[in-house]
Amino acid sequence: MSSEYFDEEGLLKVIKAFELSEAITKLNWNWNNYPNPIKDAHELIAMSQKLFIEISEYEQRMSSKLNQYQKDKIHSAIEDLGKILSYIKNKIKPSEILEIVD
């Protein structure tokens, strides 16, 4: 057994990022088939924001224990989630953007 530290909490955070990425991708692909895609987008973005905060707190707490492989996997999952989130913006019409801000 390797003496490297492997953390289940970090793995669960990566899995959660992949699950959110999947949900966002499905919303993007089927935007017109959702009864209220703007509401769904809000919910997914809120969940993503919460995950970003959780991962930041996790990394602060566990940073010294995690090996580079684990750090890279977490960062990669978060970068992928961030890229996918940007596609939602392309689905929102300018009038909807104004409604969100108001």
pLDDT in tens, 15-58: 999 999 999 999 999 999 999 999 999 999 999 999 999 999 99
Distance CA 100, CA 6 (A): 41
Smallest Cα–Cα separation from 21: which of 83, 93, 99?
83
Average pLDDT over residues 66-94: 86
For residue 90, pLDDT over 70 is answered with yes
- pLDDT at residue 88, as a whole number: 86
Q: Are 84 and 25 in contact (CB under 8 A)?
A: yes
Residue written as token pair 């919303």: 27
**8 Å CB contact between 87 and 24:** yes
What is the domain partition of the chain in residue ranges? 9-101
CA 58 – CA 100 distance, rounded (Å): 30
Q: Is the pTM of this model over 0.85?
A: no
